[in-house]
Amino acid sequence: MENPKRKILIVDDSSELAQFVSKLLEAHYRTSIASDGQTAIQKVFSESPELVLLDLKLPDIPGTEVLKKIKEMNEETAVIVMTAYGGEQLAVGLMKAGAVDYLSKPFDEETLMGAVVNALKIRDAQIEDKRKEIYLSLERFFPFLAHEVRNPLHAIDGAMAIIQRRSDSKDKLLVQSIKVIREEVQHLNQFVQECLDFVRPPVRSRLAEIEINEVLSVAINMISHIFEDVSGKIRITTEFDAGLPKIVASYEEIKQAFLNILKNGFEAMHEGGELNIKTRFESTSNLGYIEVIFSDNGKGVEKENIKGLFQPFFTTKLRGTGLGLAICRRIIEERHGGKIRIESDAGKGTTVRVELPVRRDE
């Protein structure tokens, strides 16, 4: 099944052809049209389409140039070039420049649909490969980093504890300096821990039947303790569906994912706010899934940052690691076959949706 939200930009100076293609695609995709190269480049920038259908003959800039620009702006954008009869030779050359496929005009609906579905599939696979490559190098690097960093940190912290005990508690500056050092050590320790959490391999044997409402209650309880100083200003409301089926999952990992989401919610509401957590069961022909929705009215995410949220190390916080959501995605999507999505309005709040599939016992 195709995701109805995927965006396709159709670039053709013939508005008749562009409209025709748009009509054919509309049922399954969000379409947008550009009739010249300049507009196309602008739209790729502002709308970030997943796929561009690009006519080679444009009134202002040659299609080859447009393709180059698109690829420079966002390598992940898939491009199918559309050529008039006889342009195949050129099209093949363009595929070397990064186009995934070409369509010879005129084409019928079936050819178009086939090419679009295929191009999006190739794009997804390429992104997935790149992600795996990053993971693989991190999987080797993080344990090394953890080892090298943790031992000295333990030593520093131990030594600081002794200094703290023996120092003159009336010396305010000294007391404060020790506190700063110990806090920084703790921060580094946490960073290393998050790095390890990110690469820790899945352990299937830890799978058990778990109740999502219960895991959430534990996570909420924990987060209120962690954020003791602000938790008085944050109101947590829950709407738990009492009839949720149990799911087979890793309790610790799911708790970790929920904690990361809750933590971000708390960190977005320094001045206080409301966090609502809702659970529900959605049945489908394939048994169904549990949906958990976390909504906060904190500071939200700026539009240009939405895309990067799940990338490892993406953070807008001074002391952030940018691994919280990357870990969530690993746990929920890769290890449990679920989905995690974020919608946000800067200044208004953020909603995180988690879907976890309910499976038959295997």
SS3 96: helix
Which of 295, 292, 305, 296 lies closest to 339 in space, CA to CA?
Answer: 292
CB of 260 to ligand ADP, least distance (A): 6
Euclidean distance between CA atoms 167 and 159, whole angstroms: 12
Which position's Cβ is nearest ligand ADP? Answer: 324
Segments of 228-313 assigned E as strands: 234-239, 247-250, 273-282, 289-296
Segments of 25-181 assigned E as strands: 30-34, 51-55, 78-83, 101-104
Contact residue for Mg ion among 300, 324, 338, 349 (CB under 5 A): 324
Interface region with Mg ion, contact rule CB under 5 A, candidates 168-176, 179-187, 199-207, 256-264: 256-264
289 beta partners:
282, 357
Euclidean distance between CA atoms 57 and 43, whole angstroms: 18
CB of 262 to Mg ion, least distance (A): 10
What tokens were used for 57?
Answer: 């003959």
CB of 195 to ligand ADP, least distance (A): 12
Which CB sits closer to Mg ion, 98 or 320?
320
Which CB sits closer to ligand ADP, 12 or 197?
197
φ and ψ at 343, to 5 degrees?
-120, 140
Chain residues binding ligand ADP by CB under 6 A are 260, 264-265, 268, 296, 298-301, 305, 309, 314-317, 320-326, 350
Which CB sits closer to Mg ion, 63 or 324?
324
- Contact partner, 317, from Mg ion, ligand ADP, none, Cβ < 5-8 Å per class: ligand ADP
Which CB sits closer to Mg ion, 264 or 297?
264
Instruction: State yes or no: residue 77 binds Mg ion (CB under 5 A).
Output: no
CB of 258 to Mg ion, least distance (A): 12
